[in-house]
Amino acid sequence: MSNGYLTPNQAAEYLGLSTSTLAKMRHRGDGPRFFKVGNRVRYSVTDLDAFMETAAATSTSVAG
């Protein structure tokens, strides 16, 4: 993680999700922003943190 970019496995662990869930979110377009270089997917730690901030909720009745 020295360069601030994570593989999908690392990003899923960072977020506490399974790699399958993260892949499904990427496919649907409702997950964190990612970069694709060739056939490799990478996630910025900053983008993962921002994604978690936007997912924050104060009540279960308003959770996305």
Each residue's pLDDT tens digit, 17-51: 999 999 999 999 999 999 999 999 999 999 999 99
Q: What pLDDT is attached to residue 48?
A: 97
- Are residues 7 and 45 in contact, defined by beta-carbon separation less than 8 angstroms? no
Per-residue tokens: 15: 């977020």
DSSP string, 22-57: HHHHHHHT-S---EEETTEEEEEHHHHHHHHHHT--
Q: Is the pLDDT of residue 1 over 60?
A: no
Q: Is the pLDDT of residue 58 over 80?
A: no
Helix (H, G, I), strand (E, B) or coil at 5: strand
Q: What pLDDT is attached to residue 32?
A: 97
Which domains are delineated in the chain? Answer: 5-54 (1.10.1660.10)
